[in-house]
Amino acid sequence: MPYFPCFQPIIDINRMSIAGYEALARTRTKDGQLISIGALFSDPSFNRAELLAIDRSVRKQALAYFAKSEQNVFLSLNLSPEWMDHISDDMPVPTIEMAQSLNIDPRRVLIEFVEGAGEDANMQKLLARYRAAGMKIAIDDFGSGSSHLDRIITLEPDIIKLDMNLFKRAMAGGVSQEVVQSISHLARRTGSHLLCEGVETEQEFYFALECGARYVQGYFFWPALPEFIDPNSPSDIIRKLLGGFVSRNLQREKQLMRYMEEMEYYFLSVQAAINGEHLEFETLAKAPSGYLRVFLCRHDGEQISPNYELLNGASGRAWHVDPENCGANWSMRPYFYQALAATQWGQKSQVASQPYRDIRSGRLCQTIAKVLSDDRILFADVLCFGEDHRDQHGNSFYLR
């Protein structure tokens, strides 16, 4: 049975073009249908020496085809950690030798390895040899379960490929989405590009954009193909999708601005209801549904008032006084020193913190702050736009 490479386009969203191709091993059924041979790699009954020979043959065919192409793209090759463990320090590296024999610029070759498999020391040594040869490195399936953050620090990968299953789970929100956002932040801070694979729908493409992905690949665009295609093939569809993304997010940003304007406008009435270290909440109009609580601190961060909580009861939302946090110090929280900085810079209006996730509820909220006179700072915790703020009993359950 013949084995050969097919090439799945990797799309550069910024340039709206094909940046590279991932070489994937394929064969044909008796009726000529292309099928993946990926299952062979996880089949312990398949002869490993034969599988290694197949893998290297497919890799060599892919490099030979790549060498003949005039496209200014990169070629991504999957390297099994199982093979990496068999190459000692004094042995030549087959993929490097293949590329050199074909006069391929090593900077156009991307070596992918699965981040949670293989013997760590040997893998890192071999990846360092690929890097020394001029090739680029990608961590595949990052977040699949055994995420070794030290490898990112040690290897400084050019691309981090997000685990497909994690990517799809994250679309539902919750902790998985926060993990993906953290990986995106990690990629930006370490100078790596994020690649989302397995993109199969328009919504998954939009979510990849929300994740900060530079590259995408998947059946929404193209499967693995026998040959390279025009690198500008994605241009029209990406341009249209980006237009839709901007329109959708522009509408959401307008709604967000209206929401925060309502929160901050009510905050003005809260300021007027402050009497010393107390809130005269009886004088306040009905609070917007996103309001959670109000409290006062001194300039050193110590809370000097109880929490004035808005909770749901039989007769609707009402103010409740909770003294538990009196004396607690919040000076380490970003919303605290952001309020002080705004005042010292001469910005007298209230400021809103960046969104943060509450540990108990798992919901997102923000804190609005205003420096008052007499060594006092007024704070209000509000839900982020679009967040549901009720538990199964209808009560607010955020904690700072």
Can you give the residue range of the structural domain that contains 370?
A: 264-383
Confirm whether 388 is domain-assigned: no
Number of independent structural domains in the chain:
2
The CATH code of the domain that includes 170 is: 3.20.20.450
Confirm whether 244 is domain-assigned: no
- Same-domain status, 95 and 158: yes
Residue 316 CB-half CA count within 13 A: 4
- Same-domain status, 43 and 96: yes
Which phi and psi angles does 178 have, rounded to 5°? -65, -40
- Same-domain status, 357 and 215: no
Confirm whether 392 is domain-assigned: no
Confirm whether 238 is domain-assigned: no
Start-to-end C-alpha separation, the chain: 63
- Same-domain status, 273 and 223: no
d(CA 36, CA 59): 14
- Same-domain status, 355 and 217: no
Of 107, 41, 52, nearest in space to 75 by CA: 107
Q: How far is CA 29 from CA 5, 163, 179, 248, in A?
A: 15, 29, 40, 44
- Same-domain status, 225 and 372: no
At residue 29's C-alpha, the angle toward residues 23 and 32, to 5°, is: 85
d(CA 27, CA 8): 15
- Same-domain status, 40 and 85: yes
d(CA 70, CA 93): 26
Which phi and psi angles does 139 have, rounded to 5°? -95, 120
Of 46, 49, 51, 48, nearest in space to 3 by CA: 51
- Same-domain status, 103 and 221: yes
Which residue shows structure tokens 């360092």? 128
Per-residue pLDDT of 278-332, as tens digits, reads 999 999 999 998 899 999 999 999 999 999 999 888 888 899 999 999 999 999 9
- Same-domain status, 212 and 280: no
The sign of the dihedral angle between the CA atoms of 84, 86, 89, 91 is negative
- Same-domain status, 226 and 289: no
- The angle that helices 48-68 and 94-101 make with each other, rounded to 10 degrees, is 30
Give pLDDT tens digits along the chain (400 positions). 799 999 999 999 999 999 999 999 999 988 989 999 988 888 888 998 899 899 999 999 999 999 999 999 999 999 877 777 777 788 899 999 999 999 999 999 999 987 555 556 777 788 889 999 999 999 888 876 555 566 676 778 899 999 899 899 988 877 788 788 888 888 888 889 999 999 999 999 999 999 999 999 999 999 999 999 999 999 999 999 999 999 989 988 899 899 989 998 999 999 999 998 899 999 999 999 889 999 999 999 999 999 999 988 888 889 999 999 999 999 998 888 887 887 676 555 678 888 887 665 567 888 888 888 778 899 999 998 877 533 333 333 334 4
Which residues have C-beta within 8 Å of that of residue 101, sequence separation ≥ 6?
A: none
- Classify strands 74-78 and 17-28 as parallel, antiparallel or unpaired: parallel
Confirm whether 245 is domain-assigned: no
- Same-domain status, 186 and 283: no
